[in-house]
Structure 1
Amino acid sequence: MKATKLFNEFFESEKASGILLLICTFLSILIANSYLQENYLNLWHYKLAGQSVEHLINDGLMTIFFLMIGLELEREVYIGELSNFKNALLPISGAIGGIVFPALIYFGFNHNTSFGNGIGIPMATDIAFAIGILSLLGSRVPTSLKVFLTALAVIDDLGAIIIIALFYSQSIQWNYLLLALAIFGLLLIFNKMKVYKLWPYLIGGVLMWYFMVHSGVHATITGVLVAFAIPFQKGEEKSISAQLQHALHKPVSFIILPLFALANTAIIINLSSSDDLFPTYAIGIALGLIVGKPLGITLISYLAVKLKAAQLPNDLSWKHITGAGILGGIGFTMSIFITLLAFDDAMVINNAKLFIVIASFVSGIVGLLFLKSVLNNNRISKAA
């Protein structure tokens, strides 16, 4: 399968970002559990314009992250892997399995508890981390596998965005929401009128974000809506959609996501209380990511192919898909983001983050070793 230039650029950008995120995560956990703990935690709670630095990152800068995700979704739908329905059905099927199975596992452990709101936590796959781990296997990785994992993670993110919009919004302030939607409608009119200047969409996006902040719907959804309002044209390099996506790649990958990782992985490791060492929400998160993700992705993908709804690329085997499913258990960014929306208790949030990091680390290592074994066996078979 031939990869497009924009896909290769996206893959390379996410690969480097994944490695940087890994470094930032370990650095943040290390500092949070050192003698600098108090100063480090205070740094993220420092008030700017009446809001903590952490809040400004999570509700402000992460909107730009969602804008880039929206632009990538738009590209995939128009000219990428998702533009061909037959090709799209394999990662779509895998993504559905990777959303439903972890949710069922989490629900099984938490449906009669006060932690039920965390059901969305194990549903998401972190694009940057997953691609970063896959890239460690080098040029031996089939392009079809890169495309499958990327499309899978993008669809997963779309699922997470929908979940956030539907289930993690506060009580709705309809006057502000209607104003935000009115601006969105105006941007869609600009699109239909073929307004190919970027500044009206960006100004409209800022105003829309302001009203979304006050509406009760999570403000980061603004990023995705603005992305789909921006004209895609034919996806050529000079289109404002492609230009904005190019412009956002490096700031998002090397500034915004590392800041998010640093601010949200200041996890205090406290194992002194053995009674609560494995609370039900932690078990649901860990098993959802480590077991539910690969099981759901592989099984539903297999069923889709067997029912002839989708087709497996010629250069892939089910072992490749299983390996991608294991890497799908790397939740991180979106899982942590949903954790912040799902829980109010600081200790629960801290522990949930810890188990997200542990589960993502396990999924990454196991997925890497599994795919390395598959690729090595394939090379031996070809040599023979």
Structure 2
Amino acid sequence: MAIAPRPIRAFFAPVRSLFVGDASAGVLLILVAAAAMLLANSPMAHEYHQLFHGTLSLTPVAKLDTLHLWVNDGLMAIFFFVVGLEVKREWIEGQLSSAEQRRLPVLAAAAGMIVPALVYLFFVQGDAQQLTQGWAIPAATDIAFAMGVLGLLGNRVPGSLRLFLLTVAIVDDIGAVLIIAIAYTAGIKLGWLIAALVVVAVMLTLNRMRVKTVVPFLLLALVLWYFVLNSGVHATIAGVVAALTIPMRGKDDDTMLERLEHGLAPWSAYLIVPVFGFANAGVNLSGIGLEGVFAPLPLAIAAGLFLGKQTGIVLAIFIANLIGFAPRPHGASWPEIWGVSILCGIGFTMSLFIGELAFPGYRLLIDEAKIGILLGSVCSAVVGYAILRMTTAHPGDEPGSARSA
């Protein structure tokens, strides 16, 4: 079979990358978000809205009376469960298992959450006090989306930077979960919360007793979710807490935690997150207009994601490397570090989720927040990709030229 000339292979390399490696889940999110936007601004806009926000005639949980609530409070609890499993595994035996390994990702993630929040608050100062509730929207990085864009570059990017982006995003998720639990929890019902704590205690006891069957843990996780849902704490926190009780001992190849993570991760990446994106990304622009697109809220979020993320992360890495606190990623140039830092400004999933929590009942603000998230995420994806494409000098299209990730 004839081999295509090098220029042709180079031209089609990004297209080929769409369907392999890290890129597929991120590309699926892009397609789902685009589909949601098209439907929300088409003659089917009413049907799209009714599908997710219309009251269900029958629901097994009274608090979840729309499909949108089932997606955000139900399905997303499974997503957070997978996040919790991943965090626990990385903390015990992965890239966050030692203080030395944790230094740079934790510092970069912290700066990458604080600076975007400050940028956001700067842009909304002088506006309605209510807008300050959205300070955490630009603080999170979407792992699937960011790794998807990085995947389009094949092996051009040093493996150390891929690992850095992944660990920063994981620490970012920890921060986002804490923010949701602390900043967006109100009206706690003590009885339900105590019941939830009892369930957690039982799950920890099963862990200590070395119970090897997964069924009791999953059943108790479901009970925990129901109790937390009624406690006033956001239901998805139950997913993270339940994940932290799942047993993982030593470095066996077949622990319960790893079986669950490997089994659920594809469902989370290719079903749950896309369904969430489809349910939440659609914004009807007809009632917003240009003044809504360039209103303080969407501009603040977009600036926080695009400007705040890269500024905070690059400064953190530069200072840590300068004072010897933690070296910069091995084999990575500063332009490459800059490009990956920009990709951290892709905040799709977590940002949409926090946006719904920040402005409950205010549809216009939620829609404006979605516009800002999409603007900031798209700018971060396009500019980050372009910079990495121009600055990485290690194309993976030729045999022997790939750099191992």
Q: Secondary structure at the match of 1:131?
A: helix
Q: Deviations over 1:17-69 (max 9, x none)?
A: 11111111101101111111111111112415051111100000000000000
Q: Distance in 1 between matches of 2:222 and 2:351?
A: 26
Pick the aligned partner of 2:197 from 153, 165, 181: 181
Q: Distance in 2 between matches of 1:233 and 1:333?
A: 31
What does residue 275 of structure 2 align with? 259
What does residue 70 of structure 2 align with? 56
Q: Distance in 2 between matches of 1:306 and 1:70?
A: 33
Q: Distance in 2 between matches of 1:321 and 1:42?
A: 44
Q: Deviations over 1:45-94 (max 9, x none)?
A: 24150511111000000000000001110111111111122122111111
Q: Which moved more, 1:307-316 or 1:209-218?
A: 307-316
Whether 2:106 is the aligned partner of 1:92: answer yes
CA root-mean-square deviation? 1.8
Q: Distance in 1 between matches of 2:136 and 2:90?
A: 24
Q: Distance in 1 between matches of 2:291 and 2:254?
A: 59
TM-score, normalised by the number of residues in structure 2: 0.87
Q: Deviations over 1:354-382 (max 9, x none)?
A: 12011101100000000111113899xxx
What does residue 41 of structure 2 align with? 33
Decide which structure has greater helix share. 1
What does residue 331 of structure 2 align with? 315
1:110-121 correspondence runs (5 A): 110-112=124-126, 113=128, 114-121=130-137
Pick the aligned partner of 1:376 from 393, 396, 403: 393
Deviation at 1:266, TM superposition (A): 1.5
- Give the share of equivalent positions with the same residue, in percent: 38
Q: Secondary structure at the match of 1:231?
A: coil
What does residue 80 of structure 2 align with? 66
Q: Secondary structure at the match of 1:195?
A: coil
1:1-384 correspondence runs (5 A): 15-46=23-54, 47=56, 48-49=58-59, 50=62, 51-112=65-126, 113=128, 114-270=130-286, 273-343=289-359, 344-376=361-393
Query: What amino acid sits opposite 2:49 in the alignment?
Result: L
Q: Deviations over 1:266-307 (max 9, x none)?
A: 211237645444222222101100100000011012111222
Q: Secondary structure at the match of 2:136?
A: helix
Preserved CA contact (<8 Å) 2:155 2:395:
no
Q: Which moved more, 1:187-196 or 1:153-162?
A: 187-196
Q: Which structure is larger by alpha-carbon Rg, 1 or 2?
A: 2
Query: What amino acid sits opposite 1:17 in the alignment?
Result: A
Preserved CA contact (<8 Å) 1:87 1:311:
no
Seen in structure 2, the aligned counterparts of structure 1 residues 273 and 138 have a Cα distance that, compared at 3 Å, is closer
Preserved CA contact (<8 Å) 1:28 1:266:
yes
Query: What amino acid sits opposite 2:378 in the alignment?
Result: F
Q: Distance in 1 between matches of 2:200 and 2:87?
A: 18
Preserved CA contact (<8 Å) 1:86 1:309:
no
Q: Distance in 2 between matches of 1:235 and 1:68?
A: 19
Seen in structure 2, the aligned counterparts of structure 1 residues 273 and 31 have a Cα distance that, compared at 3 Å, is closer
